[in-house]
Structure 1
Amino acid sequence: MPLRGGAYLGEQKYYVYFRRPADVSQMTLLVWKHQDRDDDRWLYLPALDLVKRIAASDKRTSFVGSDFFYEDISGRSIDADSHELIETTDNYYVVRNKPKRPGEVEFAYYDVYIHKQSFLPVRTEYIDDSDNLYRRYTALAVENIQGYPTVVKARMENLRNGGTTELTYSGIDYDLGLPEDVFSERYLRRAPREYLQ
């Protein structure tokens, strides 16, 4: 397992299955995260029975009409930004992150509040070129599941238009021993229901 400064840097794969609301029910998102090139992303839209490849240029665009971006769902590479610890409070480490390629993103920088005990990022504030806060992520609820502190409810706010989206995670299990082929395009259309109970 490749580590640098405690961060996992190996290849990662995400499979996300949506139950609610009704307009995204049975939709699936598959992400293969790479360290040396752009991530691969696919989205299955059940209403159209369509698998859509998400272009790398779309990672900072709305995720199916929500206030989250594709990159918010699957994560941003640690190497995409430079990082600086700017503050330490009783509860948080505050890290400022500046993009190495500012022309590819709409923010000038973002500050992440990392909870000291759990090391979870519980708030992220995105600042534009005019030094205005325009997006904010907040972890609304954290539970200890199988020994892992886990965000179970989160909110993204668009402070420019007043939009807000909340995500709730349920039925969370760790260390399931998922077979590798679950993280393939064929399971976008045919969700592995034995693991989604």
Structure 2
Amino acid sequence: MKKIYLILILILLGSVTFSANVDEIVKKAYNAAYYAGDDGRSTVDMEIVDKNKRIRKRRIIMLRKDITDGKEQMYYAYFKEPSDVKNMVFMVHKNTKKDDDRWLYLPALDLVKRIASNDKRSSFVGSDFTYEDISGRSIEEDVHELTGEDSSYYIIKNTPKTLEDFAYYVTYIDKKNYLPIKAEYYNSTGNIYRRITAEKIEVIDGFPTITIMKADEIEKGTYTVNKFSDTVYNLGMEENIFTERYLRRPPRKWLR
């Protein structure tokens, strides 16, 4: 009888360790993907390809500042091209104990629009990326399960704790640098309908960085490619540029 109890205890302890390991992997991947350095700046060239292979382009300057590593964080995306979106701004304040705050400034209307938390899965300015893809999905929103691994990748199933527009998604995390190199989204029938992939990774200022990323809407036959260039980390950005007053008055110092 004592042996049976001992076996049960070992199984339970093993399960706890396994769960903790999974959560640690996910946390490291989240930090690697979204928290390199204390702040960062990139130029993003976006190509949106529709099902007829027609291409629309966007050029965006992306600014980021971390308040607490792995937690509170701010994003500022300034649109430079083309003319129909020029001077548009998307800003995010990531929060840990409440929904993220998101704003979109539309210069043609001189309108600041708050993006509701239930719109976070909506298309980001007509692309195949969502608002949530740009600033990251909180790891607290999902239950994580390590479903497999090989010599190169951890394979993790992520199931949302509340109702979403997907049943679950599976991420492939590079064991060397902990960057998520692929995420596949499954619908309620168990089919992959959406995929995000890291097409190219480079080391910049000592940080492994995704420099080409693709979002593929498999069912729709559309995709979007983001190419990141001129990426720099640890610039010492001021926190006050990530406030509403700078939606209409962009911080030119950081957008050159």
Q: Give your verdict on TM over 0.5.
A: yes
What's the TM-score once normalised by structure 1's chain length?
Answer: 0.91
Partner of 2:8: none
Indicate the larger mover: 17-26 or 134-143: 17-26
In structure 1, distance between residues paired with 2:98 and 2:139 = 13
- Tell me the amino acid that sits aligned with residue 189 of structure 1: R
Is 1:11 matched with 2:66? no
In structure 2, distance between residues paired with 1:174 and 1:139 = 20
In structure 1, distance between residues paired with 2:150 and 2:106 = 43
Are the structure 2 counterparts of residues 195 and 94 from structure 1 closer, same or farther at C-alpha, using a change threshold of 3 Å?
same
Indicate the larger mover: 140-149 or 40-49: 40-49
Partner of 2:159: 98
Q: Tell me, what secondary structure is at the counterpart of 1:94?
A: strand
Q: Tell me, what secondary structure is at the counterpart of 1:96?
A: strand
Is 1:28 matched with 2:89? yes
Is 1:80 matched with 2:141? yes
Q: Tell me, what secondary structure is at the counterpart of 1:169?
A: strand
Matches within 5 A, 1:1-197: 5=24, 8-101=69-162, 103=163, 105-197=164-256
In structure 2, distance between residues paired with 1:97 and 1:126 = 10
Identity %, equivalent residues? 51
1:11 is displaced (CA, Å) by 1.3
What's the TM-score once normalised by structure 2's chain length?
Answer: 0.71
In structure 2, distance between residues paired with 1:26 and 1:152 = 24
1:35 is displaced (CA, Å) by 1.0
Are the structure 2 counterparts of residues 19 and 115 from structure 1 closer, same or farther at C-alpha, using a change threshold of 3 Å?
farther
In structure 2, distance between residues paired with 1:97 and 1:26 = 36
Structure 1 residue ranges without an equivalent (≥5): none
When you count helix as a share of all residues, which structure comes out higher? 2
Contact 1:43 1:52 in 2 (8 A): yes
In structure 2, distance between residues paired with 1:157 and 1:87 = 23
Contact 1:16 1:29 in 2 (8 A): yes
- Tell me the amino acid that sits aligned with residue 161 of structure 2: K
Contact 1:82 1:99 in 2 (8 A): yes
Structure 1 runs of 4+ off > 6 angstroms? none
1:111 is displaced (CA, Å) by 0.4
RMSD over aligned CA atoms reads 1.6
Q: Deviations over 1:73-112 (max 9, x none)?
A: 11111100000111112221111100011x2x11111001
Alignment: residue pair count:
192
Structure 2 residue ranges without an equivalent (≥5): 1-22, 29-68
Q: Tell me, what secondary structure is at the counterpart of 1:18?
A: strand
- Tell me the amino acid that sits aligned with residue 137 of structure 2: R
- Tell me the amino acid that sits aligned with residue 171 of structure 2: V
